[in-house]
Structures are given as structure tokens and as C-alpha cells.
Structure 1
Amino acid sequence: TVLDACEFFVLYKFFAFPVVDAERRIVGVVDVNLFAEELLSSRDNAEIEKDEVFEVVGFHLSQVRDASPWRVFRYRFPWLLATVAGGTACAILAGLFEATLASSLVIAFFLTLVLGLNESVSMQSMALTIQALRSTRVTARWFGRALRREMINAALLGLGCGTTVGAVVFLWQRHLAAATTIGGSIAVSMVASACFGLAIPSLLHWRKLDPKIAAGPITLALTDLATLAFYLSIATLILR
């Protein structure tokens, strides 16, 4: 039936599959246009762009149906626990560098900015990756090319942001070591943040999980933890 065909498109992310008879001989082909037409016919006065069809294919059928608030809570809340865990880990990590933060207040002043920049670049990478995953199958070759491209882009972004923030620190505090620490940590940590933004949604998509719901909390938690580790470690090495 048409419903069975739609179920195959959603569960297995096929764009086409053969139809066989009782003797397993191919008698035809069903492509994703059938799924698109079924969606269009089931929604009154709705216009679905072609890209939206592939976006829906990324979900399990039960996830695109209307769900109760409790079901939505059960679906979304476990992923938000990643943010809770990441924040707790960051607090513990910062406590290990208490002496560094106490000895150089300028490091503490710019902590929020450093975290914000890295969160922004990881979210940008994640958004671009989710967009690409609409019509791309995750393979080692694709991931390798995407990773190289993202690392180059992140290195350029990190160099630009690190130089800018470092200049601001130096002009404000006249402290070359602090400017080098903050600017250098931004340049290094941005590469890691961009890699998280690429890797997490790719992994979730490969595991047939929803990257739109799950990738954000996990990516931000890992980004904050890695950024804080880079930032405070570099500060400890240079300023103490």
C-alpha cells in the first residue's frame, strides 16, 4: 500500500526502491515523489517545498505525527540532560583552575566571550551539517572531506576572532601575555568546536537519530567543556 511505501521511505531513508512480485521479479520502481505526493495530499492548503520532503525523511514516522506534550517531553528531555551534565563538568573543571582565575582577573573577564564565540561557531557548523544531511548519506569519504573543509574554515575564523579579541585585550589591559592567551585559546578551541558541530549531527544521522533535537545539547556541552579546558590550560601555562 501507499502507507507501507511511505513507512519504508521514513524508516530506511530510501529515495527509491524496487517493487517485486511473488516470484521476486522486479515489476516496477517507487521513488520519493510518491512520498511527497502523499504528504501534499494529506495536508490541506499546505505547500511543501522539495527540500522539506527530504527533511521529513530524516525522522521516524512516529516523530512526525502530532504528539502529546508528555510524549514530546520524554523525547526532548533526555537530550537536555547533556547540557546539565556538561554544565556540571564545566563547573568542576573551572574549580580545578581556581588559582589561575584568581591570579588573573582578565582571564575571568573574557571567559563568557570565549565560550560564546565557540558556541556560535559550533552551532553554525551544526546548522550547515544538518542542512547537508538532508540529501547526503554519511560515509567515511564524505565525512573526511567535510572535516577537512570545516577545519580550514574554523582555523580562519579562529585566527580572525582570536586576533581581534587579543587586540582588544592588549589595548584595554596593556597585558601582552593575557592577550596572547585569550587570542590563542580562541584560535585553537574554535577548530575543536567546529569539529563537534560537524561530527555530532553526522553521528546521530548515521545512527538514525534526530540530529535537530539531539545534536544541539550534546554539541554545546562538548564545546563548552573543550573550550574551557583549552582556555584555562593555556592560561595556566602562559600566565603562571
Structure 2
Amino acid sequence: LTKYASKVAGAVMHEEGVLDCNEVDRREAMANDKIEFIWNSTLSSINGGDSVTSVTVRNVLTGAEEQVDATGVFSFVGMVPQTDILPDTISKDVHGYIKVDRHQATSMAGVYAVGDCTDTPLRQVVTAAGNGAVAEVSVERYLKETAQLEKIMADTKGNEAVMFYSPYDESSVDRLEHVEALLTPRYKVNLDDITSQTLLYHQLNISSSFAVALYEQGHLKQVVDLNQDSAESKLSLVRQ
């Protein structure tokens, strides 16, 4: 803030010289002439009309209040993530931040995390909002895929095939109809775009960009890598 403001007043609830930060940052802040610390104090109120004109700070030891002129207020609540309430099945780094992938998914299936509690390199409102948008789409897809998987498992009388493909793999896209025709007489075919639907794809530990999982009476029979030369002969045998 001192890069943009002529003066910064900081209300600190601790005794003089004690700051909730690392030692390097503490020394730098204490040596900055633009910063005025108000020790043993907390923010009591923000004053003004259409804009901020002052704040009221209260001394936590005496209860006395004083008014400080200000044109803006920035609240700093600390950098220690309050994630102790989470189960151990949700992975965290050494500092307690929740580990998430690019879909904001945690190590526990169906649980997503966003914001300052995650192991993100930047903690700002704009990044938290962006993470929230990613998580919203991810949760929607997860629920859709979970419902699809439950439907397949519940089909104890019929046969289901889930064909995994990438829309960016032209060779697999060109072969979709042909492979579907091989399967259709015996299986009801479901298409999974692996760039957006990844739940079952990851559960089956599939690495190929073109594969099919065959289910019979709700049980997985086999997974066929459709990029292998022998794939179509395997499907022909399955169809018989």
C-alpha cells in the first residue's frame, strides 16, 4: 500500500513490535517511514458517507477509542489457513493449504475448494472469483457423471459401453461412428469427452485418448484401448 499512499496507519492488536508475519517482512514494515502502527488496537468502525473519511480504533487494553483520518480501509485477517476441521483424506501442504488440481478438486472425490485456503500462488478477490467459476462447472460435471455412472451400475439386465474420446484427436473422432456400429448390436453406447468428463476415465486408470469400457449387467467386463491395432478384432469377438 505504501507504493500508492502517502501514509498508511495500521491497527495492530498485539503489543508494540509484534506483527503476524515473517521476520523479514516485519523488519521491512517497521523501517518504513510511511507506516504508522497503532498498537494494542482493533478496528471499531468505519466512518463516512459515500466514501471513507475516518476509522475508529479501540485499545484492547484500556477500551479507549480514537478516530483516525482515512480515505480507504484494507482488512488483513492473516495468512494461516483455518483448515484443521477438514478430515485427513483431504490433502494439504505443509502450511495447511488445501491441495487442488486445475478443476479445483481436492483429494476427496466430490469435494472442491476455492479461495485463500487453497495452495494457489496468488490470493486476491479476482483469483478467488475465477476459482469459484471453475469449481462451479467442475461440480456440475461431477454430479452429471456420477448420475451417469450410477445409471450404468444399476442396469443389471442390459449391457452398457462407455466410449472415451478426445475431440482434439481427429483419428478417434473419425472412427467414432464405426466403433459405435460394432458395439451397438450388443451394447448401449455412451460417449464421454475426456476433455470435460473425467470421473470414470480416471477411476479406470485409462491413459489412452480413445478407449471403451464395457459393462454387462452392471459389472465391468473389460476396457479396450481403441488406439491399439488389435482393438477392432477384440470388439468383433465381444460382439459375437
Higher Rg of the two aligned structures: 2
Q: Does TM-score exceed 0.5, indicating one fold?
A: no
Question: Which one has the bigger strand percentage?
Answer: 2
Q: TM-score, normalised by structure 1?
A: 0.23
TM-score (norm 2): 0.23
